[in-house]
């Protein structure tokens, strides 16, 4: 299955599984706005791409 983390979190959350709050941003401006909307003094930006091979080498 090829889904991004944010998609998996939405799916899990829909079935009642607790997931950390986050925002999806496609541009630097959207990331800045997301940081303003989220509580807390520290934020992390995580780029997500589909990259194969992690499972083959035991990374997943």
Question: Distances from the Cα of 27 to the Cαs of 5, 13, 55, in angstroms?
Answer: 18, 25, 29
User: So what's the pLDDT on residue 56?
Assistant: 67
Ordered by start, the domain boundaries in the chain are 5-57
- Ranges of the chain with pLDDT below 50: none
Task: Give the distance, in angstroms, between the CA of residue 55 and the centroid of all CA atoms in the same chain.
Answer: 19
Return the SS3 of 6: helix
The CA distance from 19 to 11, in Å, is 10
N- to C-terminal Cα separation, the chain: 13
Q: How long, in residues, is the chain?
A: 60
């Amino acid at each position: 299955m090829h889904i991004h983390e944010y998609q998996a979190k939405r799916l899990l959350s829909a079935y009642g599984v607790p997931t950390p709050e986050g925002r999806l941003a496609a541009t630097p401006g959207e990331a800045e706005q997301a940081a303003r909307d989220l509580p807390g003094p520290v934020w992390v930006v995580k780029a997500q791409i589909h990259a194969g091979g992690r499972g083959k080498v035991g990374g997943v």
